Amino acid sequence: MNWEELQHHLEPDNIGTAPMGVKIGVFGVLFVSIIAAGIYFDTKEQLKVLETHERKELELKQEFTTKADRAAKLELYKEQLAEMEASFGALLRQLPETTEVESLLVDVSQTGLAAGLEIKKFKPSAEEKKGFYAELPIALEVSGSYHQLATFISGIAALPRIVTISDMKLEPFEQSEESESDKLQMSATAKTYRYLQEDEQ
């Protein structure tokens, strides 16, 4: 069979009169095309689903890696937390309770007197609540030599409770004929802190 005859038999109107081999070939090609189209369109949807699952798998792997890293460091975090709690507990013990505030104020005053300072002003103010602690400011004005002032600051730092000195101003002492020439006048705010009980916070 030559090419012209084959073309003649492949025309839609003449396909019925075509030899059996041509019919089988045409139906084979149509069958394979239909199967291929079905597979393509079905597979296309499956490929989209596969791509979605692959993205999800990557996300889950990253999440797993992050959580595995955290789990591996869990004991280290627990140790750090225990250290922080111990450190926090030690700091809390340095904050006086309500009953100890008065004695702490006396300690600050006596530290100044023991250093040889002349205390001109020692005025505790109302406490200010700040979260889990209260701040008790004390306005101070003292005068004495540089070494006496240094002894006072050193004595404050050595107290068993936390006391800080802020807003410090040093000026030469106002001279009179009787006053010593090396005296300084210091004004500052001493702050001590008190831990607030849960019902006070």
Question: 194, 199, 192, 197: which is closest to 93 by C-alpha?
Answer: 194
What are the φ and ψ backbone dihedral angles of 139, each rounded to 5 degrees?
A: -80, 125
Distance of CA 62 to the CA centre of its chain: 22
pLDDT per residue as tens digits for the range 133-165: 888 888 989 998 889 999 999 998 888 777 888
Six-digit token string for 35 = 């199967």
- CA–CA dist 135, 106 (Å, integer): 17
- Euclidean distance between CA atoms 108 and 139, whole angstroms: 12
Cα-to-chain-centroid distance, residue 40: 52
Instruction: Report the alpha-carbon distance of residue 134 to residue 126 in Å, rounded.
Output: 10
* pLDDT tens column, 170-193: 888 766 555 556 788 999 998 888
Q: Please give the pLDDT value at position 7.
A: 55
String of DSSP letters for 117-168: -EEEEEEE---EEETTEEEEEEEEEEEEEHHHHHHHHHHHHTSSS-EEEEEE
Helix (H) or strand (E) holding 144: strand 133-145
- Low-confidence residues of the chain: pLDDT under 70: 1-23, 26-27, 92-101, 174-181, 198-201
The pLDDT, as a whole number, for residue 200 is 66
Taking the domains of the chain in order of start, what are their residue ranges?
Answer: 1-72, 98-195
CA dihedral 25→31→33→37, nearest 10 degrees, is: 180
Fold category of 98-195 in CATH: Alpha-Beta Plaits (3.30.70)
3-state secondary structure of 117: coil
Q: Which residues of 98-126 are buried (b: 16+ CB within 10 A; e: fewer)?
A: eeebeebbebbeebbeebebeeeeeeeee
